[in-house]
Amino acid sequence: MPQQPLAQVPLDATWEWQEHGACREADTALFFHPQNERGLSRIRRDRAAKSVCARCGVRGECADYAIRAREPYGVWGGLTEEERERIYVRSALTQYGREKGAGLRAAHDAHLS
């Protein structure tokens, strides 16, 4: 499997929203899977992470950032790595912009957020 590229931080990225994330009160291990985690363990951890995201006031900003930055790892804004990858496949980077809100629109178009 080819190695995923590192995140491509958008030029207009801001970070204030991270200070208000519900994930700040959770263990970061909940959002990033250990090496070789598969099956039911991964499904349970992803669901637990998504439940934190579901009650988060900055979920939209988080998902938007992760999609625009093409974050390769973790659960961001309620989207798993695999869900974001489906967005990337459905919409080549040239088909949606990198301006604020473009990632969130792509997630809505893919019916994932």
pTM of the full predicted structure? 0.75
Q: Where are the domains of the chain?
A: 18-109
pLDDT band, residue 112 (cuts 50/70/90): low
Q: What is the 3-state secondary structure (H, E, C) of 35-82?
A: CCCCHHHHHHHHHHHHHHHHCCCCHHHHHHHHHHHCCCCCCECCECHH
Give the integer Cα–Cα distance in Å for 63 and 80: 10
What would the mean pLDDT of 21-35 be, rounded to a whole number? 94
Instruction: State yes or no: pLDDT of 47 exceeds 80.
Output: yes
